Amino acid sequence: MRITTILASVVLAGLVSGGAMAATATATAPATAPATAPAAATPMKKATTPQTAVSKQCSALADAKGLHGKDREKFRAACKKNGGKAPA
């Protein structure tokens, strides 16, 4: 009976402290949430730069050739220097 009483008091203490923490979190969250919520809710779009387009084109060409590892790295480096076109 004593173990049951101790277990029940531990569970009750956990519920009470968990409820208090949840109440504290919701009470403080609205004060800080409006400033950060809109920024977090909308993902930022990355600007596509010419370098990104060239890099993607070179990756697509390397994929088409089935290149992996160092051969792929060498091919992509030469391709990017060539402006997104396969090296000769």
pLDDT tens column, 30-88:
555 555 555 555 666 666 677 889 999 999 999 999 999 999 999 999 999 998 888 87
What average pLDDT score do residues 14-38 get?
A: 57
d(CA 55, CA 45): 18
d(CA 82, CA 62): 14
Predicted local confidence at residue 49, as pLDDT = 77
* 20 pLDDT above the threshold of 60: no
Predicted local confidence at residue 39, as pLDDT = 55
d(CA 62, CA 55): 10
Within 13 Å and on the Cβ side, how many CA atoms surround 25?
A: 6
* 1 pLDDT above the threshold of 80: no
